[in-house]
Amino acid sequence: MSEHECNGDCGHCAHAAEEQADAMDCRVRHNLAGVRNAVVVLSGKGGVGKSTVAANLAAALALAGRKVGLLDVDVHGPSIVEMLGLRGATLMATEDGRILPVDAGGVKVMSVGLAVEDPDAAIIWRGPMKLGVIQQFLSQVDWGELDYLIVDAPPGTGDEPLTVCQSLPDPLGAIVVTTPQKVAAADVSRSLAFCDQLAFPVVGIVENMSGFVCPHCGERVEVFSTGGAAALAEKYDAPVLGRIPLDPAVCASGDAGVPFMRSLAGTPVGKAFADVVSGVEKAAAERPPRREG
């Protein structure tokens, strides 16, 4: 108990909590001072390819010569470690106690999956612990100078994506990943409404698993119903950055720990993803000059 009797919601405690939050904001702002464009990858639900998009966006930007960081705060499904072949990598700290990200092909990576002892164990953390870890990664990881920090956020519109979006100073914005069905679009609509309510900018929508290009005849087959992303793009006035087809090679590269942007550049998937990368680079080039201080 503090020096006064209190159940935690008196003016004194509210003021102390406010001060603590301000101090954290300040630490995050200071730590991310070298990050030019923070991009949060969001989705309405799991399994739509959010981590695949985050990992390959980071890899493609690094291949294009950009300085890139990738922060995976998808607490309950930290798949970035597997997707970038980082299983077994160990975290190091600087002398002043800051955490050093791990290198994956020129991308500086930090993931909840690197911070736990057993990557296969279920992560059973209550809300405050999850939020504390996200804030720690934003305030204590030594990101240095980055052109892009890509953040793989947990799916949905709960506390964790809220913490990520509210903690990032001066972000470039969100990329919202969906699949083409109208049902999936309903979930994504909530992610876009979430950005709207937070006044968090939206870089664009990625429609993943959008059709299947037959490897034999090259014909495109629509596996799911279509039009979900286009309808959302119109409603929220956000561009569709790209439509990534289903391709078993995408899944295989994720399982092998090698981003597909390193091996599938000339394929329909590689070309579609290149549109996403150009959309992000265009948004970064067109944003107003950065606020200093």
Binding site for ligand ADP (CB under 6 A): 43, 46-52, 77, 79, 208-209, 244, 246-247, 250-251, 254
Burial classification of residue 9, based on how many CB atoms lie within 10 Å of its CB (0-12 exposed, 13-18 middle, 19 or more buried) = exposed
Going 117 to 120 to 125 to 128, the CA torsion angle's sign is positive
Of 246 and 276, CB closest to ligand ADP: 246
Q: Which residues contact 60 (CB under 8 A, 6 or more apart)?
A: 259, 261, 273, 274, 277
Of 28 and 84, CB closest to ligand ADP: 84
Of 38 and 264, CB closest to ligand ADP: 264
Which residue's structure tokens are 């493609």? 60
> How far apart (Å, rounded) are the C-alpha atoms in residues 281 and 293?
24
Please report the beta strands in 60-219, taking only residues with DSSP state E, as ranges in sequence order: 68-72, 92-93, 99-100, 102-104, 107-111, 146-152, 173-178, 202-213
Of 77 and 239, CB closest to ligand ADP: 77
Q: Are 72 and 54 in contact (CB under 8 A)?
A: yes
Of 134 and 246, CB closest to ligand ADP: 246
Rg for the chain, CA atoms, rounded: 19
Question: Does residue 222 sit in helix, strand or coil?
Answer: coil
Of 57 and 68, CB closest to ligand ADP: 57
